[in-house]
Structures are given as C-alpha cells and as structure tokens.
Amino acid sequence: MTIERNPTRSVRIGTIAVGAGHPIAVQSMTATKTQDVAATAAQANALYEAGAGVVRIAVDSPKDAEALAEIRKLTKANLAVDLQENFRLAELVAPHVNKIRYNPGHLYHHQKDRPWQEKVEFIINQAKAHDCAIRIGVNCGSVDPAKKEKYDADDSITPMLESALEHCAFVDSLGFDRYVVSLKDSDPSKVVDVNRRFAEARPDIPLHLGVTEAGLPPDGIIKTRIAFEQLIGTGIGDTVRVSLTVPNNRKPEEIAAGQGILDDIAAGRVRSVVQLNPNELNIISCPSCSRVENEAFVELAADVKEMTRYAQQYAITIAVMGCRVNGPGETDDADLGLWCGPKVVNLKRGPESIGAFGYDEILPQLKKELDQLISQR
C-alpha cells in the first residue's frame, strides 16, 4: 500500500532528516541516570543498534550537561535532549546534541517574570549557533495554564493545539524553520484528533507522533498502534516514538515496536477496527527516563496492572508515573494516580492528594481507593 505522506518540509537531525518524504524515523529515550555516563552511553548505543534514528536524553542540571558531553564521545547515535523548566541549560547542551526538545507548558514555572518569548528566543539562538533542530513538544499533562483557562475543562485538545500553533508562529518570526512539533496525550483518540487538526492548520511542519504514558507492553503497543494507524495511514507523521514501561535492559523494544507498526502500516496490515474499550479499566504509565526516582517503578507499574485485574469491567483510569517532574501534573486527570518519590509513592484521587505510602504499602492503599470508587459506580 502506498501512503501519500503530507508535504511537510525537511528537517535535518544530525545524520538523518525527517519530513518531506524521508523514511519515518523511530526514536526512543534513555532511562538510565544521565550522570551514569557508561550506562547511558551503553543504552544510547543499544537503541542506535536497534535502529533508533534519534536517541533522547533528559538533562536537568549542569552536571547532567557535563555527562552529556562525555556521552556524546561514546556514541554515534543522533542525540536529542529534553529540557524541562530550566531553559538556560540549552546553552550547555546545544554543543553536544543534534536536537533540543522544549515543552511550551514548562516555560511558565522557572523565572516567572520573564515572558516565554524571551526563553524560546534563547533556546532558538542556541540551536542556530550549534546546528541543532528543535522539537516543540506539547504534552497533555503540562499545557500552558492560560490556554487551558480559555476552554471548557472537557476540551483538553484545543489548548494544546493553540499552544503549539502559537509557538510555531513565534519560532517562524525568529527566522527558524528547522523544527518539528509533537502533540502527545495518553488517549490515542485525542492524539489522532489533535494531530489531524494541527496537520490541517500547518501542513508544512513535520510531526513527531507518540501516545504518552502508553504503559506496559502489550497494551502500550496496542494504544500506540491505534493512533499511528489512523494518522500515518492518512499521511500524517514524520517520526515516531512508542513509549513503553519496560526495564532498562528492554528499552530497544520501543524501537522494535515502532518499526513493527510502521512495517505493518506500509504493508497494509492495519487493524483499525481495534479501539480501546472506553468502558474498561485503563492503566497509563510513563516509559521512565533518567528522572525516575526509584528503580522499583517499572515493577510497581506491573504490580498495579496485576492487582487491578479484578476491576477490568469498570471505566476507571489509573496513572502510574515515575517522578516528581511530570508525576503530579500528569496524574491530575486520572481517577486514581500514583507518582513515585525515592522512598514513597504519592497517591491521588483525581487532582486531590491522599497521602504518601511506602513501596510495600501502596498496593493495599490503592486497592482500598479502587474498591471505594467501584462501590460508587
């Protein structure tokens, strides 16, 4: 089956290019501690060997940036860096990477008195000076609060779209066009909607597709497949990531899963009839990254899935996140949320915090909450 791809422009990222009919690149992200140079370089190399077009690394501090400089020497992988609130780190990381991802929703917490435009201009200037591409990465769990306020609480997509378009227009005004955009949600149908709307508004900009916090395989692969089939099957999408909650030694499975989905779509082996059942228990969990606060996280996500099987027939969403950076925000929309600290797991009911419990206490606490929720249905 020949799929006519959208006429996006070409964006070079190190040795590869995305958009403009280039093959759809599959990406992944390291989950080792960034400052563990040997382990992170080994994981970047394992992902590269598995076929990763780009490997992303989280950098949260100048020390992480120092480690990144060492990692750069030990791998041939095209490297991207994920910046969170500290936009100034762009200056330290740009010399060592091929792409910088920033999240518009994270530019509001740090140096609040400075307008976001100044921060974006700083990042773009670093990218220009060091031959880097940019990803404007909008995520459902961290949308610009001003955009969210403008729309009804049940419309989570329009604020994401508006934020992405606003940043594109601003980056364009800086004379920089070497960027891609991502709009990720944990719900595949929202990923489809928001990316379709974006592609209609800005057909020139390459899209990086992904279902965030897709969770444990095989469910995480199924959720991602649902979104990719509907988007890539209609020409939308230039690079992809499959986010899976797997232990560090299994990270290359993200590449294999992404390549497998792309091969199936190209061969016409689509299963678009597959839809998530909205009346069933939905567990979302982050893929983990260097920010994960306790390595027991992946096991915890698997234990949550196992323990909650009895509630399969209830339309309840449980989110399990690995750290404090994205955990508190990205659990807000779930019925029950868990986010990991080094020693305790924080439990939430929607946006409300219930308390923090040891790793050996959390499952019974979660069960108590889940039973209560079921009794109210």
| Interface contacts to ligand SF4, rule CB under 6 A | 286-289, 291-292, 321-323, 325-327
The least distance separating ligand SF4 from the CB of residue 126, rounded to whole angstroms, comes to 22
Which residue, 83 or 124, has its beta carbon nearer to ligand SF4? 83
CB of 177 to ligand SF4, least distance (A): 28
Q: Select 230 or 326, whichever has its Cβ closest to ligand SF4.
A: 326
Distances (CA, A) of 183 to 69, 142, 199, 209: 29, 11, 11, 7
Q: Residue 371: which residues within 8 A CB-CB, separation 6 or more?
A: none
Edge-to-edge order in the sheet of strand 344-349: 282-285, 317-321, 336-340, 344-349, 352-358
Q: Closer to ligand SF4 at the Cβ: 82 or 193? A: 82
Closer Cβ to ligand SF4, 53 or 215, answer by number: 215
- Smallest gap from Cβ 58 to ligand SF4, in A, equals 7
The DSSP 8-state label assigned to residue 211 in this structure reads B
**Dihedral pair phi/psi, residue 158, rounded to 5°:** -60, -40
Nearest approach in angstroms of CB 330 to ligand SF4 is: 6
Helix (H) or strand (E) holding 171, with range, is helix 157-173
Residue whose CB is less far from ligand SF4, 160 or 289:
289
In terms of Cα–Cα distance, which of 145, 236, 226 is closest to 198? 236
Q: Which residues are annotated as a binding site for [4Fe-4S] cluster?
A: 286, 289, 323, 330
Length, in residues, of the chain: 377
> Would you say 215 or 327 has its CB closer to ligand SF4?
327
Distances (CA, A) of 213 to 67, 141, 220, 238, 288: 26, 10, 8, 20, 9
Whether residue 55 contacts residue 28, with contact meaning beta carbons closer than 8 Å, is answered with: yes
Q: How many separate helices (H) and strands (E) can be counted in the chain?
A: 12, 15
Nearest one of 245, 332, 354 to 295, comparing CA atoms: 245
Pairing of strands 99-102, 79-82: parallel
Q: Are 201 and 211 in contact (CB under 8 A)?
A: no
Give 28 or 195: the residue with its C-beta nearer to ligand SF4: 28
Residues that constitute the known binding site: 286, 289, 323, 330
- Smaller CB distance to ligand SF4: residue 50 or 319? 319
CB of 259 to ligand SF4, least distance (A): 21
Q: How many angstroms separate the CA atoms of 184 and 109, rounded?
A: 20
Could you tell me the smallest distance in angstroms from the CB atom of residue 174 to ligand SF4? Answer: 28
- Smallest gap from residue 326 Cβ to ligand SF4 (A): 4
Task: Centre a 10 Å sphere on the Cβ of residue 204 and count the other Cβ atoms it contains.
Answer: 14
E runs forming strands in the chain:
11-13, 16-18, 25-29, 54-58, 79-82, 99-102, 133-139, 179-184, 207-209, 239-241, 282-285, 317-321, 336-340, 344-349, 352-358
Smallest distance from ligand SF4 to CB 176, Å: 26
